[in-house]
Amino acid sequence: MAVDVILGLQWGDEGKGKIVDYLANKYDMVCRFQGGPNAGHTLVIDGKKHVLHTIPSGIFRREITNVIGNGVVIDPTTLVKEINGLNDAGILMSNLYVAKKAHLILPTHRYIDAASEAAKGKEKIGSTLKGIGPTYMDKTGRNGLRFGDIHSPNFLEKYNQLKEKHLGLLKLYPALDFNLEEEESKWMDSINHLRKLNCVDGEYFINNAIKEGKKVLAEGAQGSMLDIDFGTYPYVTSSNTVTSGVCNGLGIAPSNIGEVIGITKAYCTRVGGGPFPTELFNEEGEELRKIGHEFGATTGRPRRCGWIDIPQLLYTIMINGVTQIALTKLDVLNSFEEVKVAKQYAIDGSQTQQLPFDLCDEEVKPIYSSYKGWNEELDSSNDFNKLPDLAKSYIAELEILLGVKISMISTGPEREKLILN
């Protein structure tokens, strides 16, 4: 059986959680393959809002096995808080498994993250200050502490060794207000809770499921434009958010990859710093933010908003090998008299659909085409044919421009507001 992949095609916040939740009942296992608690997947189920930061979005289906893969970095305090919130909502953790090789975020990782960002002044990357980057740095520097280590008899020795290294590094930064003793106490309490979770050799656990004919869905966190290699560097996250990251993040072979479902909004958003070619600084941008409730699920930061960007999407479709697209938040465009699509870039007097080496260094002017808006509420019947003709035309135009079938259309945050095309 192949492992299907679902991931974001923009800068994150595309609505991946809802699509994973919808698709999950077609799978036996949902696996998160990268990222940390800087990501937030928001789902609305039976009128109740749930925000996931580390746990896979299949957790709401009791019959499905959920795996936090080795490519994920875990903050024990955040994870325990998330587990407690789900338990309060009647969601049990018996079907949650954690790969032993997933790395742990220490309190001092968050301390370093905050100190490093503060030292940058106006050149801030826009870090969520969750300690993600420093944790991945220790991973690649071969200094990290892993989830499986919490069951080791010399766990405290390993922890203290890494903490002392961090305290030495912090001497290089300006002083920062951070209550390490308090944070460390909460962290150690959380470690005791996490020892009760199902801890597995993730690569064997997942590959054995594949051999048994189980259907597996791999879930990404941040969008493709935040990939450490292929995103808008240096304004990126610290892991591989694209399809190739599934292999490293779960321990599976490339030949096991099946469908790649890319998620894109009907417009575009970005949180934090970095280039954003179609960003709107006018009333249209404010309207998109207001109607779309565009504020970060983890940080609450307002998202930058703009029209959909075809060159950017063609790039991430190519990098990921996308086989089908889920288009989300189409309903946000309901009240617009005119909807725009950036079909090309103008760079140095030439038109292109190719992203430059460094978007930070190039003056990119999007070339837009305008379409008449449908200016009406969308039908709630989940019938594609009942969409306004102008909305159907917009979707058809996107399919032509992107060269990939739009197989799902989300018309609201609720689980049931999804049209299969």
What is the identity of the amino acid at 174? P
Per-residue exposure over 254-277, b if at least 16 CB sit within 10 Å of its own CB, e if not? eebbebbbbbbbbbbbbbbbbbbb
Alpha carbon distance 201, 100 (integer Å): 6
Within 10 angstroms of residue 134's Cβ, the number of other Cβ atoms is 26
Alpha carbon distance 129, 145 (integer Å): 19
- Grouping H, G, I as helix, E, B as strand and the rest as coil, residue 303 is coil
Residue 153 burial class via C-beta count within 10 angstroms: exposed 0-12, middle 13-18, buried 19 and up:
exposed
Whether the CB-CB separation of 304 and 277 falls below 8 Å is answered with no
What angle (nearest 5°) sits at the alpha carbon of residue 8, between those of residues 121 and 198?
95
13, 138, 227, 309: the active-site residue: 13
β-pairing, 41-45 with 29-32? unpaired
Task: Give 132-195 as a DSSP string.
Answer: HHHHHHHHHTT---BGGGGGSTTHHHHHHHHHHHHHHHHTTS------HHHHHHHHHHHHHHHT
Q: Helices 107-120 & 155-170, crossing angle to 10 degrees?
A: 10
4, 21, 41, 331: the active-site residue: 41
Our answer to whether residue 103 is catalytic in this structure is no
Our answer to whether residue 13 is catalytic in this structure is yes
Give me the residue label for tokens 């892991």: 239
What angle (nearest 5°) sits at the alpha carbon of residue 62, between those of residues 58 and 63?
90
| Residue positions annotated with a catalytic role | 13, 41
